[in-house]
Structure 1
Amino acid sequence: MGEHKRIGILTSGGDCAGLNAVIRAVVNRAVGTYSWEVLGIRQATLGLMQQPPKYIALDVEKVNSLLTAGGTVLGTTNKGNPFAYPMADGGVCDRSEEIIAGYRQLNLDALIGIGGDGSLAILRRLAQQGGINLVAIPKTIDNDVGVTELSIGFETAVSIATEALDRLHFTAASHNRVMILEVMGRDAGHIAISAGIAGGADVILIPEIPYTLDQVCRNIKERQEQGKNYCLIVVSEAVRNETGDSVVSTDRFGECRYGGIGQYLADEICHRIGAETRVTVLGHIQRGGTPSPLERLIASAFGVAAVDLIAEQKYDQMVTWQNRQVVSVSIADAIAQYRAVDPQGTLVKTARGLNICLGD
């Protein structure tokens, strides 16, 4: 099956469901079909910075139980850009050559990087600087990588958010309450709009469509007048308050993170119309747990296709899901296109057709 190769695989950025299924597929294809060696790099690029580089040799027996496991057995990181790596003295240092040296020290013929647009941009820059043969697989629960219909992690995140809405329905009805579910999504509303439709939400607020609290409150009052004494609202964490400011919290290291728009809405709704309101922030629950069946399917297809690209010596490529099949595109094209929810797209039209309030 062609010349023997030794390939590396790493997971970078935030964890999510489906990563282990990708690792399993890569190893099964590379070892089972091509008789190659596969090294799993620990903690993303941090593993290549170590001396000696931190890795685990992967074989079929080690990965076959991974299909249903959440997270990543290799570990990951979403901190520390290697081109401006934070140092103990508060400064930054370019450690990119250390990563390239680690790749060469392991005698790798190619590297499969699984990550979102930020991670893939860094990996591509490293690959170009160091002559690394890179193949990429898109991973983000936000589903905002432009050229692929699905990224690893999204389907499971939607399933979890939908299940949360299913559960909130009953307690909302029992207590005649407004229940607000705050979901992840960074700057895109894909999780909110998809789970909101699938979970029967009454109001869906996403960053791509401006809203007014007057319209949201009007919708709740209209429901009450129709005898529907409860309301289910799903809101993306990136939705801004009415003055246009992001709702964020700052940790002790000075990093800002989205969080709090649900409570902001609850306070405003209670103040304006007196509705008893409760908030659930789903948070990292969306990133954990068992991958959905479709997640496993896409992960398996991506893993096999990535290995085949290496066999064909097609590097600087990312696998994508388009029109029910895997298609490869250049990584540069993939990360150049950011995909938010289209306000004129099918899902928004569907929500409006179901008389779901989008706040506008």
Structure 2
Amino acid sequence: MKKIGIMTTGGDCSGLNTVIQRLTRGARLRGWQVLGILDGTDGLCTTPPRVIELNDDTLPIENARLAGSFLHNGHAGAMNFETAAEGGKLDNFNKRLRKSLQELKLDALILIGGNGSLSLAWCNRAIYADLQLICIPKTIDLDMPLTDRTVGFSTAVQQLTSFCDQLMLTARSHHRWFVVQSMGRDCGALALHGGIAAGARVILIPEIKFDLDSVIEHIKHAATDYGIIVVSEGVHLRGHSGRPADIISRKLTAAGIANRAVFPEYTQRVGDTTACDRILAVRFADCALHAIDNNETYVMTALDDNDVKTVSLSDFFDAGEIVDDPKIPGLKTSDAFVAPDDPLLDVAHHMGIYIGEIK
């Protein structure tokens, strides 16, 4: 009988519990034992490792729609690659992880994580040499190469859209503009999708250059004296410091435009998982289990033109833009961004949305 482990790492998002529940269901139908590793790498490197056995009663199907992770993603100050690197204990941390995996005698580990977690897994792949490592991509940022969608992105877009929808009502009442700062790190996908869905008049993302004077002129000539401006948190404004939404809000105020800067922040990580995210989670779970059946390892599930398949972690790492991780010295991560030829950029432009200086 195979024994598999499931672990969630990095930031949480909606859809994680759907993945966990469906992995458990599919594995149990195969007659496998399923262990859930609590608190990510922090739970894995403790003595003994913090695990629970998973079955249909552990995570009922009606709870699979809930946001967050039933297995938890760790807590502030938890032992992980970042805190180990900061304390100069990375080698010891890696040894503890490998020792714990050997003690658990897992045949396979399914890691549900973002680009940081998967980049770490690939760069420290020797830790997982004695088992099959299967990864499932999840992030609200959609900044992972080789997959068209990630678990959690659809729900985050819905949350951002709903947030803007509610603001539009008070914006109209007070003849006011709202500058909404989305999450997304250095990728503008969440702001772009959520902004278009919410009917924003301006969408500013890190990938597209823009001019603040052009933003102001666009708003002054808008058909209404109220509306939504969506700006991604990764936008950098040369010569200014602080949060992008605050900077833009001050510029609008100076130009005589009534406005407020608002921050949905962690509401984008929660909310009942959308049907799109649930279906993607189920498809990724099924693909991951088939990968174990086929003795694959060091692979990631991916959505490619509506086809779910596995890609190698090596290809995943090489396909993105390799950047320095700001938290872990020496670590490189593989990041993806909104492409210059993304059709949504043209859609936004044709719909009269100021998206920046696109060609």
TM-score normalised by the chain length of structure 1: 0.90
| Alignment correspondent of 2:324 | none
Q: 2:95 aligns with which of 94, 97, 101?
A: 97
Measured in 2, the distance between the counterparts of 1:80 and 1:211 equals 40
Residues 187, 338 of structure 2: 8 Å contact kept = yes
Q: Which amino acid aligns with 2:32?
A: W
1:117–1:145 CA contact under 8 A, matched in 2: yes
Q: Distance between the aligned counterparts of 2:297 and 2:281, measured in 1? A: 19
2:294 is the alignment partner of 1:312: yes
Moved over 4 A (4+): 78-81
Inter-partner Cα distance in structure 2 for 1:239 and 1:319: 30
Structure 2 distance, partners of 1:229, 1:82, is 49
Q: CA deviation at 1:91?
A: 4.2
Checking the alignment, whether the CA contact within 8 Å between 1:27 and 1:59 is kept in structure 2 is yes
How big is the shift at 1:97?
Answer: 1.0
Which whole-Å deviations, capped at 9, do the CAs of 1:301-349 have from their partners, x for residues lacking one?
Answer: 1111101110110111110011212111001212332321123320101
2:194 counterpart residue number: 195
Q: Aligned equivalents of 2:123 and 2:7: distance in 1? A: 16
1:121 Cα deviation after fit? 1.8
User: What CA distance in whole angstroms lies between the structure 1 residues aligned with 2:155 and 2:9?
Assistant: 18
Unaligned runs of 5+ in 2: 321-334
Runs of at least 5 residues in structure 1 that lack an aligned partner in the other structure: 249-259
Q: Is the 8 A contact 1:135 1:315 kept in 2?
A: yes
Structure 1 contact 80–86 (Cα < 8 Å) conserved: no
Q: Which moved more, 1:326-335 or 1:150-159?
A: 326-335
| Native 8 Å contact 1:183 1:236 kept in 2 | yes
Q: Distance in 1 between matches of 2:22 and 2:15?
A: 11
Question: Is 2:255 the counterpart of 1:268?
Answer: no
Instruction: Kindly provide the amino acid, as one letter, of the partner of residue 306 in structure 2.
Output: R
Residue of structure 2 in register with 1:229 after alignment: 225
Counterparts of 1:177-256 in structure 2, within 5 Å, are 177-223=176-222, 226=223, 228-243=224-239, 247=241
CA distance in 1, matches of 2:280, 2:5: 20
Name the counterpart of 2:147: 148
Residues of 1 paired with 2:221 and 2:356: CA distance? 14
- Report matched runs for 1:1-360 at 5 Å: 4-32=1-29, 34-63=30-59, 64-77=61-74, 81-82=80-81, 85=84, 91-94=88-91, 95-131=93-129, 132-223=131-222, 226=223, 228-243=224-239, 247=241, 260-271=243-254, 273-336=255-318, 337=320, 338-360=335-357
| 1:41-100 Cα deviation digits (max 9, x unpaired) | 01111111110110010012222233211100111138655387057xx54442101101
Render the CA deviation track for 1:180-203: whole Å, top value 9, x for unaligned. Answer: 111000000001110111110000
Contact 2:41 2:79 in 1 (8 A): no
Q: How many residues of Structure 1 are paired with residues of Structure 2 in the alignment?
A: 337
Partner Cα distance (1:229, 1:274) in 2: 12
What is the distance in 2 between the residues matched to 1:148 and 1:170? Answer: 36
Q: Could you say what the CA RMSD is over the residues aligned between the two structures, in angstroms?
A: 1.7
Asked if the contact 2:112/2:136 (under 8 Å) is kept, the reply is yes
Distance 1:129 1:51, change over 3 A: closer
CA distance in 2, matches of 1:82, 1:279: 35
8 A contact 2:176–2:259 mirrored in 1:
yes
* Cα distance in structure 2, aligned partners of 1:75 and 1:20: 10
What percentage of aligned pairs have identical amino acids? 35
- The question of whether the paired residues in 1 share the 8 Å contact of 2:182 and 2:230 is answered with yes
Helix, strand or coil at the partner of 1:15: coil
Partners of 1:207 and 1:357 in 2: how far apart? Answer: 14
**Does structure 2 retain, via aligned residues, the 8 Å contact 1:148–1:322?**
yes
SS at match of 1:61: coil
SS at match of 1:146: coil
